[in-house]
Amino acid sequence: MSDTLMNINVLILAAGHGKRMASPHPKVLHTIARRSMLSHVVATALGLEAHLQVAQIGIVHGPDHLAAFQADIAAEFPNIGRNIVFAEQTERLGTGHAVQCGLQVFQETLPLLVLYGDQPLMSAEGLARMMQSVQNHAVCIASFETDQPHGFGRLIRNSEGSITAIVEEKDATDDQRAITLCNAGVMALSPEALPYLDQLKVDNAAQELYLTDLVTLANAQKRSIQHITFPLEEMASVNTLAQLAAVESLWQQQKRAQFLDHGVQMLAPETVYFSVDTEIAAGCFIEPNVIFARGVCVAKDTRILAFSHLEQATIGQKCQVGPYSRLRPNSNLEDDVKVGNFVEIKNSRLQSHTRANHHAYLGDCFIEPRVNIGAGTITCNYDGQSKHPTHIGENAFIGTNSSLVAPLKIGKNSIVGAGSVISDNIDDDDLSLERNKQMIIRGGAKRHRERKIGK
């Protein structure tokens, strides 16, 4: 990292109750694209390193949330290599008080970027512009324009257009409520503005210390204030489950557009749902109502058919999955594998040219190339206490409705007859079947019906 880059601290405010979520979980741990909102914001802060030098990332949490926050971030960023520090806001006395709590954990005084843990759609590029602004201004405010400003703080400007104050909705006059330039919450502070935090006072309807009052204090000291206007969607915040769903929709729309622009064809994009780490190569085709959970990577020219659900799966080139397929964690399909309707795969590797076209369960197995898995085949991998593997050799044929009782090894070029329960290993080129002899009772059906009628 170049020494010429601006050195900053980032503080994420995440101590809110989130009462309007009506949820037992901390608000910022609710997910967008299967990543918590908090980790989305941490990822954005880390993304600033393309533009700035981030010394520390601080997270302000409420009582009893520290362990959950640490676990979430450790799971999302196992190799973060970054000094993330935590500060507790025991009493929730407003945004200004939260920043006061957070500043105590930083090792040095640097320009400060204040973010919120419930704004997961922010871009690092826009935030970097804010931080660069405070090289020449005391404070830079993130703003947005909207014709429905109800509920947001308003930016007050003087006749010259300079920002003089931010007024919260509940404290605003009727004329101020008509203003459409709104505060997005995010704020960049120069080191010279940080001492103003000690001058904040409880002088508002909420009886809280407002971070936004720094603007008034800076103006009183003739310090310059800047604001940068962002798209409303980028600064969308979440306070209710309805807003969470709306922000999820915004994220999905953006991701679908990205994939379409990069050559991924979708018949009904609005019905396909991606995760934050989904990887799909150009030339793929996705039918409606497909869900990509975490950890899915799809190589080029693969088709994912309708109503399929994929999680922690790696799919090779020219494969076909679905319709109605489920790939569970650690599923690996090599090139030109077909997995059809109502096939479930878990912790298994299917090598090239293998087919499992319908109604099968393949768990904890390794399947070599050119194997045919007949309809109704299941690997009986769990004995009630432990999971066991199944190995099926190259060019084997597994007949319909077979149960393969693991641990089991089936040799190359072998055949398993339909309806078999196989519990012993099968050597290469062998044919194995296990079924009871069919019994036919002549006229038995007629006599059975006559007895029923007689009753």
Catalytic residues: 358
d(Cα 88, Cα 62) in Å, to the nearest integer? 6
Beta carbons of 12 and 116 less than 8 angstroms apart: yes
Question: 272: which residues sit within 8 A by CB, 6+ positions away?
Answer: 256, 266, 286, 288, 289, 290, 291, 292
Q: Where are the beta strands (DSSP E) in 29-176?
A: 31-32, 35-36, 53-61, 84-88, 112-116, 139-145, 154-157, 163-167
Phi, psi for 296 (deg, rounded to 5):
-110, 130
Beta carbons of 204 and 171 less than 8 angstroms apart: yes
User: What are 14's strand-pairing partners?
Assistant: 61
Angle between helix 124-133 and helix 37-47 axes, rounded to 10 deg: 60
- Secondary structure class of 137 (helix, strand, coil): coil
d(Cα 301, Cα 298) in Å, to the nearest integer? 9
Which pair of tokens denotes residue 131?
A: 């931080």
- Secondary structure class of 348 (helix, strand, coil): strand
